[in-house]
Amino acid sequence: MLTNASAQEDFTYDLADDGAGLPARVAIFGADEGLRRQIGDDLGGAGFRAIDGGSLRALLEGPIALLGDVVVVDCAVSGSRGIDGMMLAGLARLDMRVARSGAKLIVATNLEGLDDVFAVLDQSNPQILVSPSRAERVIAVGRVMGEAGAARLREMGEEDRVALLRLSQQVEAIAHSLDRMSHVPTQGPSVLGEFKRDYAAPEASAFASFDAAPAPAAGPPLPDPHMVRQIIANRQARARFFDPELFGDPAWDMLLDLTAAHGEGARVSVTSLCIAAGVPATTALRWLTQMVESGIFIRVPDPADRRRAFIALSEKAMAAMSGYFASLRMPVLQAA
């Protein structure tokens, strides 16, 4: 049931007592009251207790009341101007409070607001959704609650996190298919196609071993960026002849894009990198976050605008990509 925060007497954060059998509580903030009500109804149907936290102004004025185990914020923007500076300040404040409290934060935005949101939320390891469907919002709440439960049992290793990432992608694929079947009855790709798109991901051991591998003192240079761009174009050309969902490989596509950008001296925004991944933006963003946490990518703040952050290859990642391209035989490279 969706209740209103103004009707509550005690606004202090209190983690739900799972041992007492209480359903997890989710506080919802957003400018659109109708959307908040819809999210609350969807979460209630999934077994969560939804609490209406009010408009986004509640993040700016007075003490922030974390009313649940999960805080959901909707801050999609219209046009290309990005998110208002005052709202970003409120999100940053909420981000720090969530990081200290142990709650989980989910923020939904669109591509126009993605760079601003990603740059300002750097404390609480939030889940960022890009233009999510109703099913994706519910899945996100279930995912973060599952991660919290696993963390209480034991510290999650890299293999555990990547395995959970791959599993959540498969669940999301089902949600996408259900959304299409319920709204657009067409002869589009099957559920199997959705699974193939998200299942073709790097092995968990790749993340687990990367951080332990030292970067070589010296090695071959990165390849010419024009050659890397040609490889990217060749990979994208497959979509003209095959279902593109057969080849989803967001980690590799992002690595190639950053390798080319490094050689070109170009800075890559979060939005641009998510587009280069060739999968839904929310999926790409989860992979991007995992690769930052694993030390493959690094966040680079924009010195001219603290509201922005760029993504680049780490030194170890550059050494690994250099070694990879140096190991390829020329005929194989030309056909890649």
User: Nearest CA to 49 among 76, 20, 75, 92?
Assistant: 20
- Lookup result for tokens 């973060």: 144
Sheet-wide strand order for 309-313? 268-269, 309-313, 297-301
Whether the per-residue pLDDT at 86 is higher than 60: the answer is yes
User: Which residue type is seen at 71?
Assistant: V
Task: Please name each of the domains of the chain with its CATH number.
Answer: 3-142 (3.40.50.2300), 160-335 (1.10.10.10)
The model's pTM = 0.70
Gap between the Cα atoms of 257 and 313, Å rounded: 10
- Asked whether 270 and 288 are in contact (CB, 8 A), the reply is yes
Q: How many residues does the chain have?
A: 336
pLDDT tens, 111-152?
Answer: 988 998 999 898 888 999 999 998 889 888 888 887 665 444
User: Which residue type is seen at 187?
Assistant: Q
pLDDT tens, 176-193?
Answer: 555 555 554 433 333 323
Gap between the Cα atoms of 310 and 332, Å rounded: 32
Torsion of CA 272, 278, 279, 284, to 10 degrees: -40
